[in-house]
Amino acid sequence: MTLAALHGHAAIPARGFAARLRARRASGGVTLVEMLVVLAIVALLVSGVVMGSGQLGSAKLRKSATGLAGAIRVAFTRASVMSRSVRLVFDFDQKQFWLEEADQPMLVQSKDTTGTGGAEAVTQHEQQAVAESDRIIKGVTASKPRFHKVEMGLLAREDEKSPDARELPGGIEFRSFQTPHDDEPRTTGRAYLYFWPGGLTERASIVLRKGKSGEDTDALTLVVSPLTGNVNVKAGAVALPTATDEKDLSEREDKGGF
C-alpha cells in the first residue's frame, strides 16, 4: 500500500473524531447555557421570596439600628474626651444623622418648644419658633450656644452624598424621636440628642421604621441610657422611659444592647 493510501485511511478516523469532538463541544455549550438560565431563574425566585417576605427590609432596619448605636457611642465618648458639649442631629427629611460640637458649654432647656433644646436655631422652622418664644418672653436672653459639624470618622462613608453625615439605608426612615427636652415626640424636621463632658446624655427613644409603615412589626426602637450612653434595641415602637423608671435609669441594671 502506498504512502498516499495510508494517509487517506488515517484521515477518515481523524475527520470522524473531529466531528464527534465538535458535536460534544456543541452539546456541552448548550448544556452550559441551560444551566446559566436555570441559575438565573432560581436567583430571581429567591430574591423575590426574600423581598416579598420582608427579610431584606428587616436586615436594613437592623443595620440602621447598629449604625445609629455606634454614632451614639462615638458622641458619648467624644463629649467626655474633648470636654465639650456634643449633639447628634437627626434629619427626618434627608434621612441622615451627623455629629456636631458646641463652641461653649450649654444646659438643655426642658420641654423646649423650639426644638433646639436651647441651642442656636439652624433651620427656618427653628428660627421662627425661637423668635416667637422670645416675643412671648420679652426679656433679655443670653447668647445661645452655636454648634458646628465634626467628622464622624469611620461612621461616614466616602460614597455618601455628605461625607460628614451618615445616611439611612434605602427604604428606612426615622419614625419618631423624643428626649426629656422635647415637649412631644418629633416626627418631622430635625431632632437633637445632647451629650455632656461629664459622661452624661439624655434619655431618648429613637424609632426607625421601614418606609412609611405605621406597624410596630416594621419598627425598631433605640432606647438610650442617660448614665452610660448604652443603647437597648427593642422591637416595635417604644415610648420614652420616664424619669421614675429605675430599671431604665439605673447604671447597674443598664446592660445596653450594643
Q: How far apart are CA 218 and CA 209, in angstroms?
A: 6
| Average confidence (pLDDT) over 1-16 | 48
Grid look-up 421614675 returns: 244
- What is the structure's pLDDT at 193? 94
| Domain presence at residue 255 | no
- Domain of 142? 55-249
Q: Where do the DSSP E strands lie in 71-214?
A: 86-91, 96-102, 147-150, 165-167, 172-178, 190-196, 200-201, 204-210
Q: Is 70 exceeded by the pLDDT of residue 121?
A: no
C-alpha 167/C-alpha 96 separation (Å) is 4
Query: Is 50 a member of any domain?
Result: no
Q: How far is it, in rounded angstroms, from Cα 191 to Cα 62? A: 21
Q: Classify residue 165: in a domain, yes or no.
A: yes
Reported as a single tens digit per residue, the pLDDT across 163-218 is 678 899 999 999 999 999 888 899 999 999 999 998 899 999 999 999 999 999 99
Asked if residue 71 is part of any domain, the answer here is: yes
Q: What DSSP designation does 186 have?
A: B
Cell of 105: 458649654
> Would you say residue 29 has pLDDT above 80?
no
Here the CATH number for the domain that contains residue 126 is: 3.55.40.10
Specify if 2 maps to a domain: no
Please report whether residue 195 resides in a domain. yes
Rounded Cα gap, residues 251 and 257, in angstroms: 13
Q: Is residue 12 part of a domain?
A: no
Whether the full predicted model's pTM is greater than 0.75, yes or no, is no
Identify the H or E element spanning 235. strand 231-235
88 closest CA partner among 177, 185, 199, 184: 177
The Cα–Cα gap between 196 and 198 comes to: 6
* Structural domains of the chain, count: 1
pLDDT digits (tens, 9 = 90+) for 67-82: 999 999 999 999 998 8
Q: Which pLDDT does position 34 carry in this prediction?
A: 66
Share of the chain above pLDDT 90, in %: 38
Examine residue 64 and state whether it is found in any structural domain, yes or no. Answer: yes
